[in-house]
Structure 1
Amino acid sequence: MLTSFVIGKASLLTSLFFIMGVFIVFQVAFAAIKKVLTIKDVNFDEYTLRAVLGIIYILVILFVLQNSVRGHGNSLTFVNFQLVAVIFYTVILNVPFKFHLFAPIVLAFMIFNSAITSWESWCLGAVLLAFFYTLNYIKTHTEKVFPYLYYLGSSIFFGVLYWFFAKLKFSISDQVFWKEIFDLTILEIFTFGYIATLFADVESRTALFRDATHDKLTSAYNYDAFDIDLRELFRKVKTTDMKFTMLMFDIDHFKHINDTYGHLAGHAVLKNVVKIVQTVIDNNDPKIKLYRTGGEEFNVIFPNYKLADTKPIVEEIFSAINHSDTKFDNNKINLTVSMGVSQMSKDDISINDFYSRVDEALYHSKRNGRQEITVE
């Protein structure tokens, strides 16, 4: 569907800029749609949105370009873009390997091109499916963040194989065949280089974001993340029908643990508590978030939960911690926690009203002998 020459005798450089433009336009369109949905408070899964938008986008481009040469006797014009489209679909969109999604697309193009009775076309379709499978296999079976050489090597192999069957179908001369292979190789080097740059940028921004929003000792969300999320949820409760509940807890006699076993033991206790709580959360609802908001103080936010709905999860967290211990330097440190729980109300004038109510529930538990749950 897109050879190295985008239209007629256009240069390889033009083709490279065309490919780059296709990728950039998609990134801009995706960012714009995501921004609009965020502004309008529409709940969406970013991965699904990206996949659906990307599939529609690349199919529209493929059909438009293919239709522009259909019936003009120049079916070679867009051959290379079929391979680039597979790379886009698999590597950029990160769509998992599913024959029921990809195979019908290949079949639709065969029908569109009136090639359903051509054995060479069936071979071309099989190569595309094998290429798609191989890229997915590389993606899921390599430890590297972006296995550039694996991607490039497989792309060159399937590119040569694809052009071999195209050569048979269209009676392409050896000179044209090797020129197209050379152009395709340049396109793939550029394409994977560009994608690798995107991955590196995303990885860098992800690392910076994690450092800014997570506690370095325990890997729980930190106070800054807590403050941002709490303010956003407070705004939503005041302006919509959303509900949310918050649990606040701290480790009983934590100063005594530090004084008795040392601060490294205290660190081990904190990490163990986070591990226990996060396990309970993951087993119930990954949308629930755990924050370390002070030395031994933690908050858990339950978005879209009424107070009664949090009860079994809160009790599970309470029981899991209070029946655990932390081993450190041949010592077994028994743990207990005190908890306070409350649901935000539209009557809360400010965040501090709500926060103070949860805080007061926690200290009610501590004043009454600790190791208990107080609900306000």
Structure 2
Amino acid sequence: MVLHGGFALFYLESHVQSVHMWRWPFTRYISLAMVNATILWIVVKIRLNLAWTTVAEELLNFAILAVLMYGYFKIQDKDRRIKDRLFQSANWDALTNVQNYAAYDRAIGYEFYHSVGQHRNLSMIMFDIDHFKHVNDTYGHLAGDEVLKGVAKTASTTLKQIDPKIILYRTGGEEFNVLLPNYTMEQTQPIAQQIFDAVAQNEVEYNGQTLRVTLSIGVSGLTVQDRNPLDFYKRVDANLYHSKKNGRMQITTA
């Protein structure tokens, strides 16, 4: 029982010491491990009346095992960090910190077929920034980046206040999509309006300039005529195009 408890403590200690960024991590780790091992084997020696040479051999074996375990956990932690970075870059937009087109493409496929199969509601909001090219041409691309970040942050904050499960995706240069599973059009339209109003009221500061932008928005819900996700996307996109073609700074629903 004592041995089992000691090895469990050793395993936990190996993991904690190897993944935390403390000063001198290996020295801390091996010192603590050997102190605990020494105490453990002294208890075992007393209970089993072992020779000191046996205890010394076991402590040497333990030290070798401790070094190997430290290396094992360091490799595991490095592998986990690499996987986390790959997942982040594959699914998140580096500039705006919202999910990207690849994540959207997977989500729309899942939500579309799940909604059709379960006879659930599904709505989508698509919007882009009015006169974004003018911002880039007038103030520079760094200003455009600040506008993108500001719009994404404002829209994300607005959505989280409404429903934390709703996800914002950046699907193009200045284009964003929002998927709303289980939302009817009647429920979705006020959400689109809240995004529209929040962005219009927001100010982006850049290089001493105060920039204000507006959105053109298209909104639609899943219909029985939609045979695949692209059919659904095209209708929402057509509504966005209608908003842009008819003066921008408006919401089109259908």
Tell me the TM-score normalized by structure 1.
0.58
Q: Map 1:235-274 to 2 at 5 A.
A: 235-274=113-152
1:67-116 Cα offsets, whole Å, 9 max, x none, are xxxxxxxx75x46533345458xx4xxxxxxxxxxxxxxxxxxxxxxxxx
- Residue in structure 2 matching 1:364, options 216, 220, 242: 242
Q: State the one-letter code of the partner of 2:209.
A: N
Q: Provide the C-alpha distance between the structure 2 equivalents of 1:163 and 1:336, rounded to a whole number of angstroms.
A: 71
Q: Alpha-carbon deviation of 1:367?
A: 3.9
- Cα displacement string for residues 268-326 of structure 1 (whole angstroms, at most 9, x for unaligned residues): 11122122223334445444322222221111223444444445544443332111111
Could you tell me which residue of structure 2 aligns to residue 280 of structure 1? 158
Rounded to whole Å, the distance in 1 between the matches of 2:32 and 2:184 is 52
In the TM superposition, what are the counterparts of 1:167-316 in structure 2 within 5 Å?
A: 167-311=45-189, 313-316=191-194
Ranges of 4+ aligned residues in structure 1 off by more than 6 Å:
none
Partners of 1:320 and 1:370 lie apart in 2 by 16
Contact 2:219 2:251 in 1 (8 A): yes
**Helix, strand or coil: the match of 2:94?**
coil
TM-aligned CA distance change 1:231 to 1:159, over 3 Å: same
Q: Which residue of 2 aligns with 1:65?
A: none
Determine whether 1:81 maps to 2:81: no
What is the CA deviation profile of residues 199-256 of structure 1, one whole-angstrom value per residue up to 9, with x for unaligned ones? 2122222222322333333233222332222122222223334543221111111122
TM-score (norm. length: structure 2): 0.81
Greater Cα offset, 305-314 or 230-239 = 305-314
Correspondence 1:1-376 to 2 at 5 A: 76=3, 78=4, 80-86=6-12, 91=15, 135=16, 142-143=20-21, 150-311=28-189, 313-376=191-254
Instruction: State the AA in 1 paired with 2:95.
Output: L
Distance 1:281 1:200 in 2: 34
Q: Contact 1:337/1:370 (CA < 8 Å) preserved in 2?
A: yes
Cα–Cα, structure 1 residues 360 and 251, in superposed 2: closer, same or farther, change >3 Å? Answer: same
1:317 partner amino acid? I
Distance 1:178 1:231, change over 3 A: same
Aligned pairs, number:
252
Cα offset, 1:335, TM superposition: 1.6
Is the 1:237–1:346 contact (alpha carbons within 8 Å) kept by the matching residues of 2? no
- Identity of matched residues, %: 38
Greater shift, 238-247 or 248-257, is seen at 238-247
Contact 2:10 2:33 in 1 (8 A): no
Compute the RMSD of aligned alpha carbons: 3.1
- Paired with 1:359 and 1:306, the residues of 2 have a C-alpha distance of 18
8 Å CA contact 1:265–1:328 kept in 2: the answer is yes
Counterpart code for 1:267:
D
Unaligned runs of 5+ in 1: 2-74, 92-134
Q: 2-side partners of 1:156 and 1:313: how far apart?
A: 60
Distance 1:187 1:258, change over 3 A: same
CA contact (8 A) 1:291 1:300 kept: yes
